[in-house]
Structure 1
Amino acid sequence: MKAITFETVAEGYIKAHAAGWRNSKHAAQWGATLRTYVYPNFGSVAVVDVATEHVLAALQPIWSTKPETAARVRGRIESILDYAKAMKWRQGENPATWRGHLVKLLPSRAKVAPVVHHAALPWTEIATFMAALRGQTGLSACALEFTILTAARSGETFGATWGEIDLEAKTWTVPASRMKAAREHRVPLSAPALALLEKLAKLRPDTEPGRYIFPGAAARKPLSNMAMTMVLRRMKRGDVTPHGFRSTFRDWAAEKTSFPNEVAEAALAHVVGDKVEAAYRRGDLFEKRRAMMEEWGRATVGAMT
């Protein structure tokens, strides 16, 4: 008989307990965190064979950078393995147990020294932040808003031209020459992103294909790469960076939605392997990303908080 995998057991656990959870979103959050942090490491491993090294492979990459998420993931792994033992699919000690086991292998959350990354806003604060941002004036504030709405890198926004925008298709196509991975990247434009572009088009008549969407003071030059940072300084938000909003988006996708990990990674234009590449070429991943970006757009106005 084929061994039952950890992922199969996890899905069974969620199904068995979902009716007792406070709402359907809780079940979705379970699935999202498992798909993001656990299944890539040992989802396909037989549940009877899951060991400490598998658990550590999932936890160590996020233990210092995302301690709250890591603690939640550990607890979920522990519960699923306890469930498997109760169902007689495995025996012995639970390798995800904290007391007396992982406490000896991982630093306590109180002692974790976070790795310094681009300062990011907690995803639960995105609607409040965006309301404040939309109260700012000037093209730089619009550029930051567009960057957040599209989960783009700052350089992709600064270099964006009107020729890359297809308002009818609701798509922004960034050429490979301006992408970190040197591969063309299509970005689904959500309703808020489209509204912002339409507002800019009305305010500025120079929307010829070669013109920058966010032009600088100098002729035929984009905004300075410090423009968004200066907006944050005016807002007295030295605790966040423009690039950090990509992390905000990624955390939101994992914690608040049920979209698969590969969809969020593709939205960030991360190269994550053949599976994503194949899905992208089929075209269905783009439509999934469109649905994701619409949800993200709604999140920025508070509908998802």
Structure 2
Amino acid sequence: MRATNRLSAKGAVSLGPGKHADGAGLWLVKDEGGRGKWVLRVTIYGKRREMGLGAFPAVSLAEARKNADVARSIVRAGLDPIKVRENAKREAARNLHILNDIALDCFETRKAELKGDGVAGRWFSPLEIHVLPKLGKMPVAEIDQTDIRDCLKPIWHEKAETARKAMNRLSLCLKHAAALGLQVDLQATEKARALLGKPRHKPENIPALPWQYVPEFYSSLNEGTVTHLALRLLILTGVRSNPLRFIHENQIDGDVWTVPAEAMKGRRDATADFRVPLVQETLAIIEEARAHSRDGFMFPSVRKGVISDATMARLMERRGMTERPHGFRSSLRDWLAETTDAPHDVAETMLGHVVGGTVERAYRRTDFLEQRRALLARWTQHVTGQKGAVVKMVGGQA
């Protein structure tokens, strides 16, 4: 009898239950139902092992012999074909992770660094809107610079800032994939930038109402609604809309409003809460807002939660204004620069900006609360139509 290739394709089909040798360690093991499996017996490191080569008849005799030849060659090289196959499967599985899954996992790991744990979705939105619909189902290991270029090309010049954010988020996703052990091209985003070229569009600042015209607008917010009161407090305090929308009763202590660190953009240190001084006018607004509060939140929406980011903006749109609520921070900053001698550190701190390097901040233990209170009192006088005299800061005092 032949030592190898003992079986034939037709004969294998008609064989009964049991073990049938094809030779050189290749066996067909069949059951009562006529189905079976291919098994290769090999000796590895002095021990006999059986390696499955697939189900019969799905795997043909010719294919089983081909797979057996590959396994034998691995044995001759002094390696374990079973381990080699398992390693190859693990490598293939790692590299089949699609971008959509990697992006979500990356987002989860970064939530602790994001304002409000990224609930507002601003970190993930550029990916969700502009990248994942096109690249989300691709294995992350296969994404290259041409894929990224083709994905972002439609918005590269028209929506330059959005495209920049999407590219940066995608770069972080690739780094996250690399950290997971996936084979990715970490330079793909930089190569894509080279292919796309420099964006023609220049990002524009949010339109701001000149500080001279703020009193007229402020006086028109006289209906006592949630939106009017929110805009009034926004203008007088200079805070961003997010902490203002989520202002809660437990954040107010006398004439100080303490904004939690996680609500402050760029303030991730748990000790970096931001204190906002409250003057007579702002205290009156807060008292009036309490009549609208729900679950302790002073500016609730009509249905649930708090008013949206767009609520105040839409009021200004309906009045035909191009300016937006965030621009009132610029109005305040310009007023400080043009009508006061407030030191740079005090003026920047009024807007909640982090001033100075790590070492400098470690030695500076003040947040200029009383200096800022005096300046905000003057700003309030201006905004409410009273006399807003020029403020002179002498030796850090107003």
If the TM-score is normalised by the length of the shorter chain, which range does it land in?
0.5 to 0.7
- The 5 Å alignment of 1:103-114 reads none
TM-aligned CA distance change 1:185 to 1:259, over 3 Å: same
User: Which amino acid in the other structure matches residue 162 of structure 1?
Assistant: E
Q: Which residue in 2 is equivalent to 1:195? A: 284
Does residue 282 of the first structure (1) align with residue 366 of the second (2)? yes
Q: Distance in 2 between matches of 1:130 and 1:282?
A: 31
1:135 counterpart (222, 225, 229): 222
TM-aligned CA distance change 1:194 to 1:281, over 3 Å: same
Q: Which residue in 1 is equivalent to 2:313? A: 229
Deviation, structure 1 residue 218: 2.8
Q: Retained in 1: the 8 A contact 2:293–2:300?
A: no
Q: Distance in 1 between matches of 2:262 and 2:238?
A: 18
- The 5 Å alignment of 1:35-50 reads none
Q: Distance in 2 between matches of 1:163 and 1:272?
A: 27
Q: Which residue in 2 is equivalent to 1:77? A: none
Q: Structure 2: give runs of 5+ residues left out of the alignment.
A: 1-201, 390-398
Give the match's secondary structure for 1:187: strand
Q: Which residue in 2 is equivalent to 1:124? A: 212
Q: Retained in 2: the 8 A contact 1:280–1:286?
A: no
Q: Distance in 2 between matches of 1:296 and 1:276?
A: 28
Q: Distance in 2 between matches of 1:236 and 1:247?
A: 20
Deviation, structure 1 residue 286: 1.2
User: Which amino acid in the other structure matches residue 144 of structure 1?
Assistant: L
Q: Distance in 2 between matches of 1:187 and 1:218?
A: 29
1:293 counterpart (376, 385, 388): 376
Deviation, structure 1 residue 278: 6.0
TM-aligned CA distance change 1:205 to 1:270, over 3 Å: closer
Q: Retained in 2: the 8 A contact 1:127–1:301?
A: yes
Deviation, structure 1 residue 153: 0.4
Does residue 260 of the first structure (1) align with residue 352 of the second (2)? no
Q: Distance in 2 between matches of 1:205 and 1:174?
A: 17
TM-aligned CA distance change 1:172 to 1:279, over 3 Å: farther
Give the match's secondary structure for 2:369: helix
| Cα deviation digits, residues 17-43 of structure 1 (max 9, x gap) | xxxxxxxxxxxxxxxxxxxxxxxxxxx
Deviation, structure 1 residue 236: 2.6
TM-score norm. by structure 2 comes to: 0.43
Segments ≥4 residues shifted beyond 4 Å: none
Q: Distance in 2 between matches of 1:179 and 1:200?
A: 22
- The 5 Å alignment of 1:201-212 reads 201=290, 203-204=291-292, 206=294, 211-212=296-297
| Cα deviation digits, residues 96-115 of structure 1 (max 9, x gap) | xxxxxxxxxxxxxxxxxx96
Aligned residues: percent identity?
Answer: 34
1:144 counterpart (227, 231, 254): 231
TM-aligned CA distance change 1:278 to 1:192, over 3 Å: farther
Q: Distance in 1 between matches of 2:223 and 2:298?
A: 18
Q: Which residue in 2 is equivalent to 1:218? A: 303
Deviation, structure 1 residue 233: 2.1
TM-aligned CA distance change 1:137 to 1:256, over 3 Å: same
Deviation, structure 1 residue 205: 6.6
Does residue 186 of the first structure (1) align with residue 275 of the second (2)? yes
Q: Distance in 2 between matches of 1:130 and 1:250?
A: 17
Give the match's secondary structure for 1:226: helix
Q: Distance in 1 between matches of 2:285 and 2:341?
A: 27
2:260 counterpart (168, 175, 199): 175
Deviation, structure 1 residue 299: 1.1
Q: Distance in 2 between matches of 1:280 and 1:295?
A: 25
Give the match's secondary structure for 2:258: strand
TM-score norm. by structure 1 comes to: 0.55
Deviation, structure 1 residue 280: 5.8
TM-aligned CA distance change 1:289 to 1:218, over 3 Å: same
Give the match's secondary structure for 2:320: coil
Higher relative strand content: 2
Deviation, structure 1 residue 179: 0.8
Q: Distance in 1 between matches of 2:242 and 2:320?
A: 23
2:330 counterpart (210, 223, 247): 247
